[in-house]
Amino acid sequence: MQPLTVAEILKATGGRLICGNENAVINDISSDSRSLSESSLFVPIKGEHFDGHDFISSASFSLTQQDTPPEEGKNYIRVADTVRAFGDIAKYYKAKHPVLTVSVIGSVGKTTTRDMTAAVMSKKFRVLKTEKNYNNELGVPIMITKLDNSYDAAVLELGMSGFGEIDRLCDIVRPDVIIMTNIGMSHIEKLGSQDNIFRAKTEGLKYLNDKNTVIANGDDPYLKNIGKPGNFRTVLYGIENRDCDIIAEDITDFGLDGTEFTVISDEKKQRVRLSVPGVHNIYNALAAFAAGKLCGVSPQSAADALSEAGITSMRMEITESDGIKIINDCYNSAPSSVRAALEVLGKNKDMRRVAVLGDILELGNFSAELHSSLGSAAGGSADVLVTVGDNARLIADNAGPGVEIYSFPDTEEAEKGINSI
C-alpha cells in the first residue's frame, strides 16, 4: 500500500477527527488488531459475538463507529459505519491507482475464472488478483489497498449473498471489464428466485459506460441477452450457443487429466489444453481467454497461460494418497458445482468411484427439491455414495439401484463410519 494521510482518510470517509494529526501518515490498513504496526490504520469490526472496538487502544490510528474518548498520541476518526468507511477509503485509493481492472461475478466458477484470467492477463500485465476468499465488503477493500506502482492491472472477485452488495462493490472497484460466469441457485434462500439472483448479480452494470465491456456466458439463459440493450459493450462466450463471439469446439475430455479444445474467435482457431478436469472449466477458460483478447493478449499466449494456470485449492483439486485419487471440490458448494464434480467422477469407469456429499446450504424452500434432483447424477456417477446431513440424505434416497449407499447425520458420525467402507 502507498501512504495516505489522516486528512485523506477524513476526505474519503466524511469522518470526524476525534484526536490526532491530519498530516500523520498511514502505510497499512487492517481489521486484525494482532497485525498492526505503528503506521497501521485499524478498522474495528462489530460482529454478533465480538467487537473490534475493544482493541482500539492497541492502534495508533483507528476508525471508530462509537463515541471513543480521545487519547494522547492517538489518531481516532469517527465514522457512521467502519466497514462502509473502509469501502470508502478503498474507493478513494482505487481512484488514485486507476489500473486496468477486471471483476469476476457469478454464482459458481468465480474463483477458478479469476485464477485463469489473472494467469492470462499476466502474459502482458503485472497483475494483482484476489487472494483467498477476499471477495466481500471487507475483503475487496483489503485487496484494493494492496495496489501500488508495481501493478498495472487487477483481477478482483466480487461475491454477494443479498441485494445491494454487488452495487456497493462495483461502486468501490469501478471495473473496466466485468466477467459474468453464470446465474445459479446459490443464495436463493435469501433472494427467493433466480430472477432475483440475476438482479442482484447485475447491480453493478449501472456503473459501466460505452468504454467498458461485459464478458458473459452465452450458454446461460439469464446472460445470453445481457447487453440488449446496454450502455456497454458485450462479449459472449459459450459451447452450445453458436452466436457467441468466442466458442469452444472439438472438445476432448481426458477425465482427471483435464480437457483439450479449440477456441474460435474472429474466425481464427486456437487449441487449448487444461490440466484442471471437467467440461465446466472450459467455460471458465473461455471467459479468461476473452478477457485476454480484449486486453491485447495473443491467442497463443492465452493458451499457454491456461495450460499453466494454478487453481485455488478445493476447486476440482486432484490429490493422491495411498493409490487413491481424491477430487476435492468442497469449497462453498452449489447444486451446479456438485453436478459438475459428479460428471468428472463418472467418467473414471476403470476405478472404484466414491462420492462423499454433504448438505448444500442457503437453498431455502428449494433445498429438498434440489438435493433430490442430484440423486440420479450421483447414482449414475458413483459406485459408492456417502452422504452427510439430513438434506444430503435426499440425494441418497434418489440415487436409484446399483449404488452402495451410506448416510450419516453429521461429520462426526461420518468420520467414524467411513473408514469401514
Residue 314: pLDDT over 70: no
Q: What is the pLDDT of residues 31-55, one digit of tens each?
A: 999 999 999 999 999 988 899 999 9
pLDDT tens for each residue of 367-410? 999 999 999 999 999 999 999 999 999 999 999 888 999 999 99
pLDDT of residue 390: 93
C-beta neighbour count of 326 within 10 angstroms: 11
Residue 351 has pLDDT above 90, yes or no: no
Chain centre distance of CA 203: 16
What pLDDT is recorded for position 69? Answer: 96
Buried b (16+ CB within 10 A) or exposed e, 390-420: ebbbbbbebbeeebebbbbeeeeebeeeeee
pLDDT digit string, tens, across residues 59-78? 999 999 999 999 999 999 99
> Which among 185-189, 255-259, 290-294 has the top mean pLDDT?
290-294
pLDDT of residue 319: 78
CA distances (Å), origin 205, targets 92, 139, 201, 212 = 20, 21, 9, 10
pLDDT in tens, 131-151: 989 999 999 999 999 999 999
